[in-house]
Amino acid sequence: MSNVTRRGFLGLTSAAALGAGLSACTGGGTSTGAGATQAASNNLRLFTYEDDSTIGLLKAQVKKFDEQNGTTTTVDSLPGSGAAVYPDKLRTELLGGKGPDVWRIWGGQIGAPFAKAKQSLDLSPYYSKYGWDSKINTTAIGGMTFEGVKSGVPFISLGIGAWYNKSLFAKAGVSAAPTTYAELEAVNDKLVAVGVTPCGLGGKYGWDIMRLFEYLLEHTAGPELHDKLLTGAESWDRPEVVEAFTLFKKWQDKKWLPQGALALDPSDVEPWYVQGKTAYTITGPWTEAGAILAAKKSSSAFGNFELPTDKTPARHSGFVEGYMINARTGNADKAAALIDFIVQPATQKAMNVTASTVKGAEPDPKTLPLAAEWAQKYGGNPFYTIQDQAFPKKQADQYFSVQSDLLQGSVKPDAAAKKMQEIVSAWAKS
């Protein structure tokens, strides 16, 4: 009897441990994500990743929409998490059966899984109803169209460039932004000579330091080849890619990047150019509100320029962000009306959107002079898809791993190019 009791207890506790371990994986109550359509109501929920500098503006506009339409919209935000974490939270909410009615998401391969899994609604009928095709930038719509299905409404199309601290450039004797790659390297040397780290990028998560490599690849490969590389149409095992990796390593070896950049958190490093710890960073117009104005600094102390590629046409890295509607919402019409309200030029202006996809919603030079300057000078230039949107997350992480190995010296540029070809060709075949 005693033995039986022990065994029984052992079995029960083992089963409990097994249950505890495995239940941590699926989460309670989730199965295949094929939940029922939610009931219609006047309550909407919008999920986003706005930070403190913009969430108040969004909430104010949503309140205005609610007043006009008799709805009650809750705005939830997960700020500062970036594309590494936010999609996980969204996915968990959707599988939990209580997903938001509307959510903000990046385009490309970050938004694609939600469309592929049919978690997001096909918005084609609403494109017709509200005439979004004629109001919103066509290229941007393409960034949220997956397998021919318009799954999102892009409201922002952001370009990545160099944002710099004028006083540190002056300290190094640099009076004008570089217009060629050689000039950029010369600027870096001058900055290092006066004890200033040129380019502030952080390698934790991989996507921030990637912005440098993709620029170098645009410089060495040029627009046509770069685009083909991103789709797997051309092999990465080629001299242009090897040269880009060689330059990438050079930037670290010549101390043009912060010491130990691979471990640095982008959210820590990006504001360093504002704090005077680095001369510039590679980022988008959101940095004016998020880093410069948030630090109570004057925009006039900073500047921006498109990283010179020496290629025609001159391009910069870019990506789109927009809104999707939950395929199981019971409030699709109201959700679409909310999106239409948000993409109105007046709303976009009120929200201080720095790079709106909507005509007539250009940034206000009085409140965001640098963002306006960027839009005016470079906003019309074509862009290549930022690489963490060009590749699915798994392949992007493998690519970041190659970057890491290269910067640590454990692989050579030619081996890195070969490895990238293995990664991209395996994905392209799948």
Partner 1 sequence: MATTVALTKPKRGGRWSPWLFALPALIVYVGFLVYPAVSSLWFSLTNWDGLSATYKFVGLDNYLKMPSDPVVVTAVKNNLIWTVVTIAVPTVIGLLLAIALNGKVHGKPVLRLIFYTPAVLPLVSIASIWGWLYNPQYGAINSFLRLIGLDGLAQAWLGQDSTALWAVMVPAIWLRTGFPMLLYLAALQSIPNELYEAATVDGATKWQQFWNVTMPSLRPAHYIVLALSLIDSFKVFDMIYAMTYGGPGTSTQVMGTWMYFNVFQYYQAGYGTAIAVVITLVAIAVGIPYVRSQTKEAS
Sites of contact with partner 1 (CB under 8 A): 2, 5-6, 9-10, 13-34, 84, 87-88, 91-92, 94-95, 113-114, 116-119, 197, 203-206, 258-265, 268, 277, 392-394, 397, 400-402, 404-405, 408, 410
> Least distance in Å: CB of 183 to partner 1?
26
Tokens found for residue 74 = 């809750």
Q: For residues 119, 122, 123 and 129, what is the CA-based torsion angle, rounded to 10 degrees?
A: -140
- 3-class SS string, 25-92: HHCCCCCCCCCCCCCCCCEEEEEECCCHHHHHHHHHHHHHHHHHHCCEEEEEECCCCHHHCHHHHHHH
DSSP state letter for 214: H
| Nearer to partner 1 among residue 27 and residue 142 (C-beta) | 27
Q: Of 86, 72, 81, 77, give the one whose Cα is nearest residue 56.
A: 77
The set of residues, in sequence order, having a beta carbon less than 8 Å from that of 17 and lying 6+ positions away, is none
CB of 70: closest distance to partner 1 in angstroms? 33
Residue closer to partner 1, measured from CB, 33 or 369: 33
The distance of closest approach from Cβ of residue 259 to partner 1 in the complex, given in angstroms and rounded to an integer, is 4
Contacts of 380 (CB under 8 A, 6+ apart): none
Of 383 and 427, nearer to partner 1 (C-beta) is 427
Task: Name which of 14 and 68 has its Cβ closer to partner 1.
Answer: 14
> Which of 163/205 has CB closer to partner 1?
205
Q: How far is the CB of 79 from partner 1 (least distance, A)?
A: 15
CB of 351 to partner 1, least distance (A): 29
Q: What is the distance of C-alpha 308 from the center of its chain?
A: 22
Q: What is the phi/psi pair of residue 256, to 5°?
A: -85, -10
The residue (of 216 and 396) whose beta carbon lies closer to partner 1 is: 396
Report the nearest approach of partner 1 to the CB of residue 26 (Å). Answer: 5
- How far apart are CB 233 and partner 1 at their closest, in Å? 24
Total residue count of the chain as it appears in this document: 430
Residues 188-196: contacts with CB under 8 Å, at least 24 apart:
188/251, 188/254, 188/256, 189/254, 191/256, 191/279, 192/254, 192/255, 192/256, 196/168, 196/171, 196/172, 196/278, 196/279
Note every long-range contact of 234-237, with CB atoms under 8 Å and residues 24 or more positions apart, other chains counting.
235/421, 235/425, 236/417, 236/418, 236/420, 236/421, 236/424, 237/417, 237/418, 237/420, 237/421
Rounded distance between C-alpha atoms, residue 165 and residue 277, angstroms: 10
Cβ atoms of residues 301 and 185 within 8 Å: no
Cβ nearer to partner 1, comparing 262 with 343? 262
Residue 7 CB, shortest distance to partner 1, in Å, is: 9
> In this complex, which beta carbon is closest to partner 1, that of residue 225 or of residue 262?
262
Supply the minimum distance, in Å, between the C-beta of residue 69 and partner 1. 30
Q: Is the peptide bond before 313 cis (omega within 30 degrees of 0)?
A: yes
Return the structure tokens found at 174.
């640099």
Nearer to partner 1 (CB atom), residue 49 or residue 155: 49
CB of 60 to partner 1, least distance (A): 31
- State which residue, 65 or 236, has the beta carbon closest to partner 1: 236
Closest contact distance (angstroms) between CB of 273 and partner 1 is 14
Of residues 75 and 264, the one with the C-beta less far from partner 1: 264
Among residues 206, 189, 179, 173, the alpha carbon closest in space to that of 253 is found at 189
Alpha-carbon distances, residue 230 vs 52, 108, 109, 386 (angstroms): 34, 12, 12, 10
